[in-house]
Amino acid sequence: MNQQTVPARNLALGEDNFEAIAKKTTFYVDKTSFISQWYNGEKKVTLITRPRRFGKTLTMGMVDRFFSTQYQGQPEPFLNLAINKDSEMMKLQGTIPVIALSFIDVQGDSYQNMVEKLSEAIRSFFFHVKYDIGLRGIKKEDVDYIENVIKENYDSEGKILPLPISTITSSLWRISRALYYKYKRKKVIITLDEYDTPLQSAYLNGYWNEASSLFVELFKSTFKGNAYLHKALITGITRVAKESLFPLLNNLDECSVTSSSYAETFGFTQQEVDAALQEYKLSDLQEKVKQMYDGYQFGEQSNMYNPWSICNFLDKRAIGMYWANSASNEIVSYVIKNGTIELKDQFVKLIQGGTVTSEINEEATYMTMLVDPDTIWGLLLSCGYLKAINTIGNKYTMAIVNLEVKEMMQTLIKKWFKTKAGYSTYNTFINHLVECNEKGMQEKLSILSRELLGAHDTSTHEGEHDPEQFYHGFVLGIVASLSDRFAIESNRESGYGRYDIMLEPLDKTADYGIVIEFKVFNPEKEKELDSTCARALKQIDEKQYVTELVKRGIPENQIRKFGIGYKGKEVLVKKG
């Protein structure tokens, strides 16, 4: 058959089973060289962090399928792949007991719920040992332990009880020992996927201290004090601070997005994407694909692509936001929404195509995240929302990765303004703002304030949130909606001070330039919100905030000024 007429391979979207994918008829980018790279590495425990949907789970399945004694004498999936050229490694195929776990479902809105899910994950592997691997050759005391873990005990309401904490923390060590003796003193490989999912859940739901204490003990017995461990591979999205999760673990090889180790294993390279486009006869869209999906960088390896986005594009043959819609962005949404005014200002720059320069801390210390910008930027880098375009020491200049991520962030921010009245309320407010319709702005902003502002958000009591925190959230919302029509700036110098918001029209003949100043009602100096708005407008004039817009070629008669006053949830808009 002529090479040109060979049909493209089938796409197995959402399939994480390595054996199902590694077939000649299924689209698969060969990453099996990772097996020997990792196995021959010096460190006993390897932690690899990458953004979601970058092939971590498939890689873990590949490692399990290659080494596990369950597949002894079954090398078929690897015979046409790169690893088959390594004869020494192929001798190890199917010869090592593997403990393969995933914490993807180990999460909950309470500590108790999370422990229940963790118990399920552990019980599931113990079931696998009993019914798939078999108990023959395992010592009686270990068989009894396995049976005890599998046994389900119920409370008075008929609900399955979770395992005791002491059983959870020692469980992987005990099953390592059981398999070690079953296979004639052969040390085990442990793979743990999505290790940080329960920790993110703990942070977002307020039980971090309890959860971190549990996982410290579990990881210590599994990876530090485990004489039956040969090697371990751990994957996740965030790199949780070693001191808080892996204390005393000196044999840990941490490979983050800034590390060059295994840089080409997770994600598709430019060459791999070009080959895929050619196979599916989509090479004419190469530039559009690059603009939408390129931009990830791991260590020195640039031009990396998200496999999920590329495979969905190949399947649907259309540019779309595939990665953004594939999972929750809860942790990132929480951090941006609750971050400082300075953080929101920096996001304004990023969404408009600018950069942010900061030192970063890749180790997520969750409890200090909102007050430590270095940790926030490290989190966003690890999660795949930002890329480092320049690095000097530990100082990184970062930008949004690509168009898909930019559109995702805009969508994420817009969702904050969904109210009982519907998202259309915010859209209408935006339209009134562009049209400089004072009455319309007043009406819609009042609805948004009532429905979005809690008492805590607008409190002016000492020690509570500065209400301007929330108001600056509107800046991001405006940017998300209007960045194609305006250059939006916040808290910048103009004239003799710093304005709150300035909108510079990209088409100076079509839109007004706009300056907005927020003010909180001061009961000691003002009797009504009219006075608060007047104070805001007076500041715009006295500080000459329109100066910058005039410098940029916008006549003063084409500039509109708004003073917005707040008193709790009550809001008033006045045009100057």
Boundaries of every domain in the chain: 31-255, 330-410, 416-575
Residue 103, token pair as written in the block: 């914490």
Which stretches within 357-423 are classed as H helix? 373-382, 403-415
Closest C-alpha among 486, 515, 465, 473 to residue 345: 473
Q: Are 526 and 532 in contact (CB under 8 A)?
A: yes
Q: Which helix (H) or strand (E) holds 149?
A: helix 140-150
Residue 393, token pair as written in the block: 């020491």
Helices 165-182 + 208-219 axis angle, to 10? 20
Instruction: Show contacts of 280-284: CB within 8 Å, 24+ apart.
Output: 280/8, 280/314, 280/317, 281/8, 282/313, 282/314, 282/317
Amino acid (1-letter code) at residue 312: N
Q: Are 153 and 147 in contact (CB under 8 A)?
A: no
d(C-alpha 113, C-alpha 136), whole Å = 34
Helix, strand, coil share (%) of the chain residues, nearest 5? 45, 20, 35
Distances from the Cα of 37 to the Cαs of 94, 236, 468, in angstroms?
A: 18, 19, 52
Instruction: Centre a 10 Å sphere on the Cβ of residue 219 and count the other Cβ atoms it contains.
Output: 22
Distances from the Cα of 118 to the Cαs of 115, 225, 564, in angstroms?
A: 5, 21, 50
Closest C-alpha among 270, 328, 317 to residue 294: 270
Q: Determine the pLDDT at residue 456.
A: 40
Closest C-alpha among 489, 494, 507, 476 to residue 541: 494
Q: Which helix (H) or strand (E) holds 143?
A: helix 140-150
Phi/psi for 392 (5° steps) reads -130, 105
Q: Are 513 and 557 in contact (CB under 8 A)?
A: no
Instruction: Give the start-end residues of each E strand in 376-475.
Output: 386-392, 395-400
Taking CA 207 as the corner, what is the angle to CA 365 and CA 240, rounded to the nearest 5 degrees?
25
Contacts of 1 (CB under 8 A, 6+ apart): none
Q: Determine the pLDDT at residue 248.
A: 64
Distances from the Cα of 283 to the Cαs of 155, 188, 204, 402, 536, in angstroms?
A: 60, 45, 43, 19, 55
Q: Are 543 and 496 in contact (CB under 8 A)?
A: yes
d(C-alpha 261, C-alpha 273), whole Å = 21
d(C-alpha 333, C-alpha 478), whole Å = 16
Q: Determine the pLDDT at residue 367.
A: 61
Instruction: Centre a 10 Å sphere on the Cβ of residue 156 and count the other Cβ atoms it contains.
Output: 5
Q: Determine the pLDDT at residue 48.
A: 95
Amino acid (1-letter code) at residue 401: V
d(C-alpha 153, C-alpha 166), whole Å = 16
Q: Determine the pLDDT at residue 1.
A: 35
Q: What is the pLDDT along the chain (576 residues), one digit of tens a residue?
A: 334 455 789 999 888 899 999 888 899 999 999 999 999 999 999 999 999 999 999 999 999 999 999 999 999 999 999 999 999 999 999 999 999 999 999 999 999 999 999 999 999 999 999 999 999 999 999 999 999 999 998 888 889 999 999 999 999 999 999 999 999 999 999 999 999 999 989 988 999 999 999 999 999 999 998 999 999 999 998 877 665 677 667 778 989 999 999 999 999 999 999 999 999 999 999 999 999 999 999 998 999 999 999 999 999 999 999 987 766 667 777 777 777 777 777 887 888 889 999 888 766 556 666 567 777 888 888 889 999 998 888 889 999 999 999 988 887 777 777 655 567 788 888 899 999 999 999 998 888 877 766 534 444 443 344 555 566 666 667 767 788 899 888 777 777 778 888 999 999 999 999 999 988 888 988 999 999 999 999 999 999 999 999 999 999 999 999 999 988 778 899 998
Multiple choice CATH, 416-575, 3.40.50, 1.10.20, 3.90.1570, 3.30.1920: 3.90.1570
d(C-alpha 348, C-alpha 191), whole Å = 40
pTM over 0.95: no
* CATH for the stretch 31-255: 3.40.50
Q: Name the architecture of domain 330-410.
A: Orthogonal Bundle (1.10)
Strand partners, 569: none
Contacts of 109 (CB under 8 A, 6+ apart): 205
